[in-house]
Amino acid sequence: MTYLLGLDISTTGAKALIIADDGSVIASCTTPQPISTPQPLWSEQNPSNWWDGIVASIRQALADAHLKGEDIACIGLTGQMHGLVLLDAAGGVLRPSILWNDQRTQKQCDEITTRVGFERLIELTGNRALTGFTAPKILWVRQHEPDVYARAAHMLLPKDYIRFQLTGEYAMDMSEASGTSLLDVANRRWSSEVIQALDIPESWMPALCEGPEVTGVISGRAAELTGLKVGTPVVGGGGDQAAGAVGVGAVEPGIISLVVGTSGVVFAPLAQYAYEPDGRLHAFCHAVPGMWHFMGVMLSAAGSLQWFRDALAPGESFDALLAPAADVPPGSDGLLFLPYLTGERTPHPDPLARGAFVGLTVRHTRAHLARAVLEGVAFGLNDGFQLMAAAGLPSDRMQVRVSGGGAKSPLWRQILADVIGAPLVSTNSTEGAAYGAALLAAVGAGVYPNVPAACQQTIRTSDATEPSPAAAEYAHSYALYQALYPALKETFTRI
């Protein structure tokens, strides 16, 4: 039996996952990670905490699996995207990492757009300049911490700092590099045009690699700390969304990953590079070599239902809350819900967008409100599907693989299938991005010839939910929903 190790540096934990070559999970351990918010809009973590956490998780996972370091054939990496790690020439960390959810850099985003040009930036990088991305953070450090900037020699992302600690190599995979605003996404190389326009030293950029490509091997120091074997290969890996897509088998066109977690993500693999001209979708390289993907991100998906439960029915189970909603007809008797409780990203990149119930009458009950929340989130996720179709994503023979807490509700799954107009299926893999990282490691170790083959052999689908006749009713409600944001945008801004 061959064993693979997937490592995941998420915002909340450092996870080590061991799987066997047949895809079965052998052991999993997560060490919690602290977050610092020293000022309003700031979100930071200390990279040394990631390393300490991953060392502890690796050792515990090996112990739980009753394995030794030499039993691990290859290691894959994944983690939170966009976080800036600045190192000096000796590899020392210069300041805490500025994370993906840090919001201090809107001024720098505007500067990037001005320097490169809105249309050219999206053409090259596939995306707008967003506060979560890495390049604006570099400019912020240059402007506010010039002493730190002057000492910097290397730029990495969170999982790539772990790679450096494991192997001594400075490298970054294509999917993660896509989220820096510094990659020529179509050509899978650093964009000299953008880097020069922003006056960032190109020497800071790490070597680029594909997801299953071996980037280095475990060093003697890392082996001593972790219990892994010296010389064990480490592959490129992928950002959390790309690795998560590998983990559910969304590695070929037509297989879509739909995550209904606190936020909602629609992830669609592409065989060729494409981008949405207004930047309302993310266009990134996939962790699968030679592939790209569209991604729509909705900030409050299951988070909307969480808010509704906590505000109107604290302590009640979600099953009890949603049971009466099943008896409410599709369209919630004219009640609509806008799920922009924390602003929005897709299709409206607007931090000032707000939530709303529209169409309330005395006939509406709490059950109507609950169903309207489910429908509103489904409409919001469908916005991503519609943008992808308009940008050239084929919609025929589409299979949607759904995961996340919201997917556990049969009612919500049915609403989603009806609104999107495609069957939804579950997968046997529940370990998320770490599982995808381990599969990338399996390819790197030669267990499988390529990523699609690895997914075909290890991932199975079940529990299909087909669209019902209610889809016609939802087409009418969705048209009403789409008109709400333009009508309310000015009010949201004034609020």
The residues annotated as belonging to the active site are 240
Eight-class DSSP state of 25: E
Residue 361's contacts (CB-CB under 8 Å, 6 or more residues apart) are 333, 334, 335
Stated as kind and residue range, the H or E segment containing 305 is: helix 302-312
CB 404 within 8 A of CB 369: no
CB 206 within 8 A of CB 183: no
Q: At 166, phi and psi to the nearest 5?
A: -75, -40
CA distance 475 to 370: 19
CA distance 356 to 178: 34
DSSP bridge pairs for 228: 69
CA distance 121 to 116: 6
Pairing label, strands 97-98, 214-217: unpaired
CB atoms within 10 A of CB 1: 10
Largest CA distance in the chain: 70
Pairing label, strands 207-209, 171-173: parallel
